[in-house]
Chains A and B, each alone.
Chain A
């Protein structure tokens, strides 16, 4: 099984007529994802390589019955696109947009929780989600993922997600689902949401969790793992050598005071019984050992 999406998930791409939207949207479709529509107020009635374009999300949902959307819209319009999807009844929204102001993210998250508690937002500023062989929404290259499980991956970093997929796939170890939650300060979906879903998914036998400096999500995840996760977890946290007070690329990746250091996160995870790796290769090797010892 997979989490959040599967082979039947129908997806609308918000921004399909833009350069990025077209590239990633069609790439997702070619992977096998059911990309059923796109939206554009000015291009309604046309199509992008056979995918019909609707004026807005309400019409697109009414026509296709889609339950997921993929937001590929620039920062100034991304939050409005997310709210439009939620209002149209979309249950799962993936937003890859990088550079959304934190104030907008906080407000959008609050509005989703209050008005659309049944809607899950993944991102913003994330690589998306891939359930190998079933569904790929986002910018992950499908050919580095391997279907069949048994590993579930959750990560805050895009390229480290690819690295993790690659380390596992090249050793013949498949993934049930790989979720990139993104590196922004207010992620719609966090580690705990994914850990909970992986714990509940019978086909996921082990979990790889990739964190980075900043915030306290890894520490909270560690507590959750200690309390609720019985499956083996391997973790890598990037940024051991990052200096305090400097944003390391991601808006959320900043050590402030004694908060958010990689060491504190690794210590918390280790105390929760998680196997800690010091670099991505070590994490891959550790997971290979874990998988060997399953069953």
Chain B
């Protein structure tokens, strides 16, 4: 789960990382109240999970209540790369002397943690990596040892941060690493990490991705659920516990297993169609799961055909067939359904469905045949 900037800053603060004082606002009046609380001058910042907010006009300075009203009014409701701004973060403006970059993430090839630190912050780190790779000081961190203050001190020197920032930066990096590990982050990034004109180091932005697999030990994460997805289909799927990602095409996809679901998208694309979604129903597709999956897909008005692609492993195809029949009794599905069923008990499953096949429920022998049929139906 990606956090909004304000959530990331709240999370940082829990680990003792210094951030600017500020507050959230969903209305113009709330923005003014937050500004009064934080103290002028303030920065009014759009809360969207996409980069390039500043260029889009989603970050503005304000010296008084009148300016806060003006900017908050403009930014709320603004569309930034398809993300509508529904919430603002209003914080006390910092006097910036220097902008740095710091992050921790998993170094997958080397199976350890990777810290990246640069004295050239405030711009996208990918750009720095491209244009001036030497400006990024990387360290590999053994998960058993962790990041010690000694290692962090050597690291800030290697990154050539300004002398006056080093001690505070090293301490902050140790805290950020703790946040990354104990806070179960996939990514904990500060860009920019700033040195203020009065010599303070703190996080001016926060980019945090939490590891969904660790939610069982972080009950506090429920507070971050606000505005997690704007896609109504994804919201519905989430409520039903489905692994769903909304896309823009016309062929609704239901498959078991992440790999097969991805592969199904690919095959639909190869035969000239486009997928409306990714949906992995996982192992053991019960009638409830199948019904929920069909309901979510049915709620998408763009879907003109549905491709159900099942390869039974643990999942038995006759159970899937029963699930589909049960689902069809419960839900009225607008688009035709094309089935490809293989694997464990495929013959039994196909036999169960045979009497119910018609021009709304079609069976095809292979994945490719089924994809072609679904794409043809969607194109009509």
Contact = CB atoms under 8 A, between A and B. Distances in A.
Interface of A: 24, 75-76, 99-103, 106-107, 109-111, 114, 127, 139-141, 143-144, 155-163, 166, 183, 185-186, 210, 212-213, 215-217, 220, 236, 238-243, 246, 248-253, 257, 262, 278-281
A157 B106 contact: no
In the A-B complex, the 7 residue pairs with the smallest Cβ-Cβ separation, listed nearest first, are: A157-B259, A249-B258, A159-B257, A159-B260, A101-B214, A160-B259, A238-B262
B143 interface: yes
A52 to B, nearest CB: 25
A102 B106 contact: yes
B177 to A, nearest CB: 11
B213 interface: yes
Contacts of B278: 242, 246, 248-249
27 contacts: A103-B184, A110-B143, A127-B313, A143-B344, A158-B257, A158-B259, A158-B313, A160-B257, A160-B259, A162-B313, A166-B311, A183-B258, A186-B111, A215-B108, A216-B108, A239-B265, A239-B266, A241-B265, A248-B245, A248-B262, A248-B278, A249-B243, A249-B278, A249-B280, A251-B212, A251-B213, A252-B108
Contacts of B260: 157, 159-160, 163
B313 A102 contact: no
Contacts of A163: 260, 263, 311, 342, 367
B357 to A, nearest CB: 23
A106 B311 contact: no
Contacts of A157: 257-260, 262-263
Interface of B: 106, 108-109, 111-113, 126, 142-144, 181, 184, 186, 211-214, 216-217, 243, 245, 247, 255-263, 265-270, 275, 278, 280, 283, 311-314, 342-344, 366-368
Contacts of B108: 185-186, 215-217, 252
Given A242-B278, A249-B257, A281-B368, 5 more contacts: A102-B211, A111-B144, A144-B344, A238-B262, A279-B368
A216 to B, nearest CB: 6
Contacts of A278: 266, 270
A281 B366 contact: yes
A205 to B, nearest CB: 25
Most buried by B among A155, A163, A246, A250: A163
Most buried by B among A24, A217, A241: A241
Nearest to B181: A103
A117 to B, nearest CB: 14
Given A75-B216, A141-B314, A241-B275, A212 B367 contact: no
Contacts of B262: 157, 212-213, 238-239, 242, 248-249, 253
Q: Is the interface of B mostly helix, strand, loop or mixed?
A: mixed
Contact of A215 (B109, B211, B213): B109
B259 A76 contact: no
Nearest to A258: B126
Contacts of A139: 283, 313-314
Contacts, number: 166
Contact of A248 (B184, B256, B261, B283): B261
Given A110-B112, A163-B260, A257-B126, A242 B216 contact: no
Most buried by A among B108, B143, B261, B314: B108
Contact of B259 (A111, A140, A159): A159
Contact of A281 (B211, B216, B269, B367): B367
Nearest to B249: A241
A106 B313 contact: no
Given A101-B213, A241-B266, A257-B126, A114 B144 contact: yes
Nearest to B255: A159
Contacts of A159: 255-260, 311, 313
B80 to A, nearest CB: 15
Contacts of A280: 263, 367
Most buried by A among B112, B247, B280, B311: B311
Nearest to B261: A249
Contacts of A103: 143, 181, 184, 211, 214
Nearest to B256: A159
A106 B111 contact: yes
Contact of A102 (B186, B275, B312): B186
Contacts of A144: 313, 343-344
Given A75-B213, A185-B106, A162 B343 contact: yes
Most buried by B among A107, A158, A161, A262: A158
A242 B265 contact: yes
A166 B342 contact: yes
A280 B222 CA distance: 39
Contacts of B263: 157, 160, 163, 236, 238-239, 279-280
Nearest to B267: A279
A32 B314 CA distance: 18
A206 B318 CA distance: 34
Nearest to B265: A241
A260 to B, nearest CB: 9
B258 A110 contact: no
Given A248-B245, A281-B367, A238 B106 contact: no
A210 B266 CA distance: 14
